[in-house]
Amino acid sequence: MRRRRKTVEVAVIRRLLTFAICAIALIGFLSVHIYVAPLHKLSRLHLKNHNRHTTHREDVTDDEIKSSIITEQSSKRNFSRPESIKARFISDYKKNEIQYQSSASEYINNTHEQVPAHFSTNPSSKLNVTSKTPDFDKLWKPPPNRNFVPCVNPNPNYTPSLESRGYLLVHTNGGLNQMRAGICDMVAIARIINATLVVPELDKRSFWQDSSKFKDVFDEDHFINALSKDVKVIKKLPKGISGLTKVVKHFKSYSGLSYYQKEIASMWDEYKVIRAAKSDSRLVNNNLPPDIQKLRCRACYEALRFSHKIETMGKLLVDRMRSYGLYIALHLRYEKDMLAFSGCNHGLSASEAAELRKIRQNTAYWKVKDIDGKVQRLKGFCPLTPKEVGILLTALGYSSNTPIYIAAGEIYGGESRLASTLGSRFSMLMSKEKLATKEELKPFMNHSTQMAALDYIVSIESDVFIPSYSGNMARAVEGHRRYLGHRKTISPDRKGIVRLIDKIGRGAEKDNRQVYEKIIEIHKTRQGSPRRRTGPATGAKGLERHRSEESFYENPLPECLCQRDPSRRR
Ligand SMILES: *[C@@H]1O[C@H](CO)[C@@H](O)[C@H](O)[C@H]1NC(C)=O
Ligand SMILES: *[C@@H]1O[C@H](CO)[C@@H](O)[C@H](O)[C@H]1NC(C)=O
Ligand SMILES: *[C@@H]1O[C@H](CO)[C@@H](O)[C@H](O)[C@H]1NC(C)=O
Ligand SMILES: *[C@@H]1O[C@H](CO)[C@@H](O)[C@H](O)[C@H]1NC(C)=O
Ligand SMILES: *[C@@H]1O[C@H](CO)[C@@H](O)[C@H](O)[C@H]1NC(C)=O
């Protein structure tokens, strides 16, 4: 009898508990539901926030959505941007500049290492994350950095700028990130051949058709001053030396020290001005003296800074992105040129595939014309599609209201493709066009290099960076994030991902969760933690050997990142 009463009591308690759990779950569901507002609602919500009408946030009606689209411009103008935030950024910027100048002036001191101050030391530490979920660490925590810190000071017997034997003019080529790497290499080359470097000219003829000059994109004076102990840099060839002998030279790609010391430096006997016709991949990745490698890092991560105008706008975008919380920067290389060049047409309509094929046929400098997109994709050579990226992010556990910054030019298929693929899983897709007003973006709009620089800044400062393809931008940002303290960078295993995703498509896996777990598994070692740069592919010879190496700027370890205290190795 007593025993029976006890079981009844237990049953009642169990029912109460079940009810309580259900209630909590329901509340949780509702609050998530409120959060998962589509983009256009979002700015509306902000507007309401500002106007202190926050009580009925969940009751956004369709009419309001429509009116919010119409008033988008006005709501954007208000949107998360009290003037004080702007002012704070500008003053932070100035403060950093002063800090940086003092550290730059004593950089020959080996005992004094620090992260350059113009990027924050730890992006997530700025935020007060109060609602840590159980998955928080898995999703956002940077990988262990095992005490690796920048070590870019030259060794004690490094001589300040050597006597110049002539002038090095540089014509850079490619988009922003290819030019960046080329400029840093040319600094090192100028040092090797004892040249005075004239501030490089940016590429105006490439695919990107941008008329920007060096000083529009980079801080020219800072570049010159920061390198003053390494290489003499001047703004232009001095006047009145027109009688000097000049030569235009294509430096051999992936060349080492002896090529520059012998073959190129011997040209000083005949010429006083050497003009490098191209800047990309002219210097080998490995087997250079440590002082030259460290100089490449000082050039790229300390001397080469964006112009004040770009830095200020970049910080503003970062600040607006942060107002949504921790965020992912997604480099979605799903742009027309990329797809046409690579022949990747998975998920496209027949007419889109035909359009891309035609572009490829008609572009003379793309040598390979017949490409089987299916084969390329299965080999992992295609950028992930927006849909595939969506599945990847879901598999990794990011919730549908995770703020995502799309770092890209125009997505092929436009906003509607983005909305119907990635947007159906993730509601907070942002971009510079959505975060800033037309008016604010206007100075950058017709300059693809400057627009790319804004994406670069937001990507560097993101809590998590994910590139959908391993191109120049992906490599540059990944390396810079390593340098700044191994910020979390997820490098998708594209080959593994497409195979697993195809399993879901074929229905071969009943439960998506199993596929998701495999996706998590193959990315455990792709989080951006410290490791040595990988060498050439086995069996590769000659140029191919150099080409197959991991790029210096993708991972400047071991030369520019050293372990502070090896005894604390984990
Ligand atoms: C913000 O928007 C509201 C409504 O559109 C407008 O009345 C107000 O003047 C705006 N405030 C600022 C600072 O632009
Ligand atoms: C190098 O740094 C140490 C420690 O910060 C300092 O005591 C020393 O004066 C510095 N030397 C130079 C040449 O700046
Ligand atoms: C962060 O949040 C905690 C708890 O909510 C609070 O006590 C603390 O003051 C906050 N810190 C900052 C810097 O806002
Ligand atoms: C550069 O100058 C240094 C010091 O004067 C000299 O030792 C070196 O051989 C020079 N290098 C070249 C390539 O001229
Ligand atoms: C950008 O270029 C286009 C076409 O060359 C021109 O019509 C437009 O006015 C330019 N916009 C700005 C903001 O300079």
Average pLDDT for runs of 10 along the chain of length 570? 62 71 61 40 36 31 31 31 32 32 30 39 50 82 94 94 91 95 98 97 80 96 97 92 86 98 97 96 97 98 98 97 97 94 95 96 90 96 96 96 95 94 96 97 96 98 97 97 97 97 81 91 96 95 94 97 72
Residue 262 in domain: yes
Q: How many domains does the chain have?
A: 2
Ligand index nearest the alpha carbon of residue 128? 3
Verify that 105 and 205 share a domain, yes or no.
yes
460: Cα within 13 Å, side-chain hemisphere: 26
DSSP 300: I
- Characterize the bridge pairing of strands 561-563 and 148-150: antiparallel
Which residues approach ligand 1 with their CB closer than 6 A?
74, 77-78
Within a domain: 346:
yes
Which pTM does this prediction carry?
A: 0.75
Same domain, 252 and 359: no
DSSP secondary structure, 7-72, as one string: HHHHHHHHHHHHHHHHHHHHHHHHHHHHH---HHHHHHHHHHHHTT--TTGGG--HHHHHHHHHTH
Give the residues surrounding ligand 2 with Cβ less than 6 Å away. Answer: 106, 109, 111-112
Residue 8 burial (CB < 10 Å; 0-12/13-18/19+)?
A: exposed
Which residue carries 């990747």 as its tokens? 344
Cα R_g (the chain), whole angstroms: 27
DSSP string over 113-175 = ----TTS-S-GGGGS------TTHHHHHPPPP-TTEEE--PPPTTPPSSPPP-EEEEEB--SS
Q: Which atom of ligand 5 is nearest to the CA of 443?
A: 13
Statement to judge: residues 349 and 212 lie in one domain: no
Do 366 and 274 fall within a single domain?
Answer: no
Pocket lining: 130 vs ligand 3, CB cutoff 6 Å: yes
Ligand 4 centroid – CA 192 distance (Å) = 8
Determine the Cα–Cα distance for residues 135 and 116; give it in Å rounded to an integer. Answer: 31
Tell me which residue has its CA closest to atom 14 in ligand 3: 128
Q: Ligand 2 centre and the CA of 156: distance in Å?
A: 13
End-to-end CA distance of the chain: 60
Please, how many CA atoms are within 13 Å of residue 559, restricted to the half-sphere of its CB? 25
* Residue 519, in any domain of the structure: no
Is residue 456 exposed (0-12), middle (13-18) or buried (19+ Cβ within 10 Å)? buried
CA 131 – ligand 3 centroid, Å: 11
**Axis crossing angle, helix 512-522 with helix 494-506, rounded to the nearest 10:** 170
Number of the ligand closest to the Cα of 441: 5
Vertex 345 angle, CA 39 and 511, to 5° = 65
Nearest CA to ligand 1 atom 13: 78
- Please indicate, yes or no, if residue 110 is contained in any of the structural domains: yes
In the structure encoding, which two tokens stand for residue 315, read together?
């910080």
Q: Which pair of structure tokens corresponds to residue 374?
A: 């299916």
CA of 153 from ligand 2 middle (Å) equals 13
- The answer to whether residue 90 is domain-embedded is yes
Q: Which of 157, 161, 162, 164 to mutate for ligand 4's pocket (most ligand atoms within 8 Å of CB)?
A: 162
For ligand 5, the distance from its centroid to the CA atom of residue 442, given in whole angstroms, is 9
Nearest CA to ligand 1 atom 1: 78
- Give the Å distance between the CA of 300 and the centre of ligand 1: 42
CB of 128 shorter than 6 A to ligand 3: yes
Taking the C-alpha atoms of residue 132 and residue 353, their distance in angstroms, rounded to an integer, is 44
- Residues having CB within 6 Å of any atom of ligand 5: 442, 445-446
User: What are the CA-CA distances from residue 11 to residues 1, 3, 21, 547 (Å)?
Assistant: 15, 12, 15, 69
CATH at residue 105: 3.40.50
Q: What is the residue with the minimal CA distance to atom 10 of ligand 3?
A: 128
What whole-number distance in Å separates Cα of residue 297 and Cα of residue 100? 16
| Ligand 1 site-directed mutation target among 74, 76, 79, most atoms within 8 Å of CB | 74
- Assign 466 to helix, strand or coil: strand
The Å distance, Cα 261 to ligand 4 centre, comes to 8
Q: Which ligand is nearest to the Cα of residue 79, counting in written order?
A: 1
Question: Are 295 and 354 within one domain?
Answer: no
Tally the C-alpha atoms within 13 A of residue 3's C-alpha that lie toward its C-beta: 0
**Gap from CA of 123 to ligand 3 centroid (Å):** 17
Q: Are residues 94 and 183 in the same domain?
A: yes
| Distance of alpha carbon 79 from the chain centroid | 25
Residue 49 Cα to ligand 3 midpoint, Å, equals: 21
Q: Which amino acid is at 241?
A: I
Tell the burial category of 83 from Cβ atoms under 10 Å away from its Cβ (0-12, 13-18, 19+).
exposed
* Residue 54 alpha carbon to ligand 1 centre in Å: 16
Ligand 3 center–CA 317 separation, angstroms = 24
Does 273 lie in the same domain as 196? yes
Distance (angstroms) between ligand 4 centre and the Cα of 223 equals: 23
Same domain, 368 and 299: no
Q: Whose CA is nearest to atom 9 of ligand 3?
A: 128
C-alpha–C-alpha distance, residues 297 and 130, integer Å: 37
Is there a domain that residue 249 lies in?
A: yes
**Element counts in the chain: helices (H) and strands (E):** 24, 11
* Ligand 3 within 6 A of CB of 7: no
Ligand 3 atom with least separation from CA of 128: 1
DSSP class per residue in 481-530: HHHTT---B----HHHHHHHHHHHHHT-SS-HHHHHHHHHHHTTT-S---
Distance 329 CA to ligand 5 centre (A): 28
The ligand minimizing its distance to the Cα of 127 is 3
Q: Which atom of ligand 1 is nearest to the CA of 71?
A: 5
Does residue 413 fall inside a structural domain? no
Q: Which residue's CA lies nearest to atom 12 of ligand 2? A: 109
**pLDDT given at position 135:** 86
Cα-to-centroid distance, 102 and ligand 2 (Å) = 12
Q: How far is the CA of 60 from the centre of ligand 1 (A)?
A: 20
Cα separation, 234 vs 244, whole angstroms? 17
Residues 234 and 357 in one domain: no
Q: Which ligand is nearest to the CA of 112?
A: 2
Q: For a ligand 1 pocket test, name from 64, 70, 78 the mutation site with the most ligand atoms within 8 angstroms of its C-beta.
A: 78
Tell me the residue range of the domain where 348 lies: 335-372
pLDDT for position 205: 77
pLDDT for res 89: 34
Of 507, 503, 511, the closest CA to residue 388 belongs to: 503
Residue with CA at minimum distance from ligand 1 atom 8: 78
| Amino acid at position 406, single letter | I
Indicate whether 111 and 236 sit together in one domain: yes
> Does 288 map to a domain?
yes
- pLDDT at residue 566, rounded to an integer: 61
Residues 231 and 99 in one domain: yes
346 lies in the same domain as 244 = no
Testing ligand 5's pocket by substitution, the residue of 446, 448, 450 carrying the most ligand atoms inside 8 A of its CB is 446
